[in-house]
Amino acid sequence: MADTSVAHAHESHHPEHQDDTNLWEGAKEPFKASYGKLMMWYFLLSDAFTFAGFLIAYGALRFSMPTWPEPDFVFASFPFVNAHWPLIFVTFMTFVLIFSSVTMVRAVQEGHRENRNGVVFWMLLTILGGATFLGSQAYEWTTLIVKENMTVSQNPFGRHIADGIYLNADGTEAKKEDGSPKTFHKGESYLLHKHEGSFDIPKVKYTTGAYAGQVRDASFGPKAFGALFFFITGFHGFHVFSGVLFLTIIMINAASGLYAARKNGYEMVEKMGLYWHFVDLVWVFVFLVFYLL
Amino acid sequence: MAGHQTYEEQKALVFKGLMLLGVITIVEVVIALTAKGHLIHGVKFTEGFGHYLYMLLMIGFSLYKAYFIIFFFMHMAYEVRGLALSVLLPTALLVWAIIAFFQEGNSWGNRRELIKEKNEERVKPAGQPQGYILSKDDFRNTL
């Protein structure tokens, strides 16, 4: 459409943008991008390194532990349903972010056409997506903290290091409800439950591995798991939160006609779009590292 | 951004992106649930070659999603080459970071085992002197 190219043509007729080009000495924009857009890219690059550092720390610590909680065991709750649905809720969260990314692309496209109502409409949907994601994360965190007692310094999600059998308090071998012995296998997950304020730690007798024949307490899972989970998903959630704030501000500005007056194809919306897609991009890797691998 | 694309083409790209990212995510989750033994009874890839294949597949899908988001949602495909290279090339440093830190993590793991072994090691029965500790008298005598 013709208006796309007109909107895109250039922003030099506006005095405010003229200042920008003066900042870029030489009267020629490097990489044919405005100052703001280029700096947004470099900010995102630095942010990518921050996230990569966190995720690599997760990998290094995970490699250093003899056991690590299974994601499909840890992340299996779903709102209003008392069921074990592994990974279904985080898949929903992923879809929320994908949708809000798509609506953001639409907002940027409408901006290039200088369509104010279109920008505001699609940005509003994007904000709703971001808020839904934050709400979902709040649910996920609440379940882990309140119901399952995981904190930054305590991780009740463990995995058995060898085959064995659970023991009763009196030292006899525990039985399941149908009378068969309550055995477990190497690598099986368990969650330690709290009972009246303190953890109920069952005794186990191993039948294989280095501790074969010994009676031991079932141990907590690696502490680092809780700290890494809350820190990394929290840092990502903080990005979503600040994204929602800035989206709201920019949507109000767009609605007020501020960007229409600048006649630069709603460049501010485009810069915000870069940030918002980056948040989705980071989630791709958080999803991979925490939930899939 | 894509000045050479028509509005209809742009909208088609958005729809394609939605489908692509959605389908890949669903495929990822279905494969993950199968590999972890939740979907088909008796089928599980949690160890050995199958597990490596599973992890490679997941990493591959994620990298493809990342590529699509960066190049088409963030319009890197339509930026000038220099901009794309100046943003993308530095991330190559992460390849070494991953190799180095995972190697380091492995080494911590091995040391953890070693420390645990040493902690559980029983020393010789008491009564016999260990090592080179001299008693006070011995020390005086040697002077």
SS3 B115: helix
In degrees and rounded to multiples of 5, residue A166 shows phi and psi of -75, 145
Beta A189-191 vs A183-184: how paired, if at all?
unpaired
**B61 Cα distance to chain centroid:** 14
Distances, alpha carbon A44 to alpha carbons A272, B85, B87, in Å: 11, 14, 9
- Distance (Å, rounded) from C-alpha B27 to C-alpha B29? 6
A96 close to A133: Cβ distance less than 8 angstroms: yes
Distances, alpha carbon A98 to alpha carbons A179, B60, B65, B141, in Å: 48, 18, 11, 81
CATH 1.20.120.80 domain position(s) in chain A: 2-9+79-149+225-292
Q: What is the mean pLDDT of residues A44-57?
A: 96
> Which chain B residue has its CA at the smallest distance from A38's CA?
B83
For the stretch A204-208, contacts whose Cβ atoms lie closer than 8 Å and that sit 24 or more positions apart, written own/partner, are A204/A160, A204/A164, A204/A165, A204/A166, A204/A167, A205/A164, A205/A165, A205/A167, A205/A173, A206/A161, A206/A162, A206/A163, A206/A164, A207/A162, A207/A163, A207/A164, A207/A165, A208/A162, A208/A163, A208/A164
Q: Which residue has the higher pLDDT, A210 or A269?
A: A269
The predicted structure's pLDDT at residue B88: 94
A136 close to A92: Cβ distance less than 8 angstroms: yes
- Distance (Å, rounded) from C-alpha A182 to C-alpha A173? 8
* Residue contact B113–A86, C-beta within 8 A: no
- Distance (Å, rounded) from C-alpha A143 to C-alpha A70? 17
**A62 Cα distance to chain centroid:** 18
- Print pLDDT tens along chain B (143 aa): 445 678 888 889 899 999 999 999 999 999 999 998 888 877 888 788 889 999 999 999 999 999 999 999 999 988 899 999 999 999 999 999 999 999 999 999 999 878 888 888 877 666 655 566 666 666 666 65
Give yes or no for residue A8 having a pLDDT over 50.
Answer: no
Close Cβ partners of A6 (under 8 Å, ≥ 6 residues apart): none
CATH 3.40.50.2300 for domain A2-9+79-149+225-292, yes or no, is no
The predicted structure's pLDDT at residue B136: 65
- Distance (Å, rounded) from C-alpha A213 to C-alpha A164? 9
- Domain ranges across chain B: 1-78, 80-119
Residues 9-38 of chain B with CB under 8 A from chain A are 10-11, 13-14, 17-18, 21-22, 25-26, 28-29, 32-33, 36, 38
Half-sphere exposure of B49 (CA within 13 A, CB side): 0
Half-sphere exposure of A213 (CA within 13 A, CB side): 1
SS3 A36: helix
- Distance (Å, rounded) from C-alpha A247 to C-alpha A126? 8
pLDDT in tens, A234-291: 999 999 999 999 999 999 999 999 998 888 888 999 999 999 999 999 999 999 999 9
Please indicate if any CB of chain A lies within 8 Å of the CB of B116. Answer: no
Please indicate if any CB of chain A lies within 8 Å of the CB of B129. Answer: no
Residues 82-111 of chain B with CB under 8 A from chain A are 82-83, 86-87, 90-91, 94, 97-98, 101-102, 104-109
Q: Computed over its alpha carbons, how large is the radius of gyration of chain B?
A: 29
Close Cβ partners of A15 (under 8 Å, ≥ 6 residues apart): none
Burial A49-88 (b: 16+ CB within 10 A, else e): eebbebbbbbbbbbbbbebbbbbbbbbbbbeeeeeeebbb
Which of A21-30, A51-60, A256-265 has the largest mean confidence? A51-60
**CA-wise closest residue to B70 among B92, B82, B87:** B87
**CA-wise closest residue to A279 among A233, A243, A252, A232:** A243
A59 close to B102: Cβ distance less than 8 angstroms: yes
- Distance (Å, rounded) from C-alpha A159 to C-alpha A69? 6
Q: How many CB atoms lie within 10 A of CB B81?
A: 8
> Which candidate in A98, A99, A100 is best for mutational testing of the B interface (most B CBs within 10 A)?
A98
The predicted structure's pLDDT at residue B128: 58
Q: How many CB atoms lie within 10 A of CB A121?
A: 16
pLDDT in tens, A76-129: 888 888 888 889 999 999 999 999 999 999 999 999 999 999 999 999 999 999
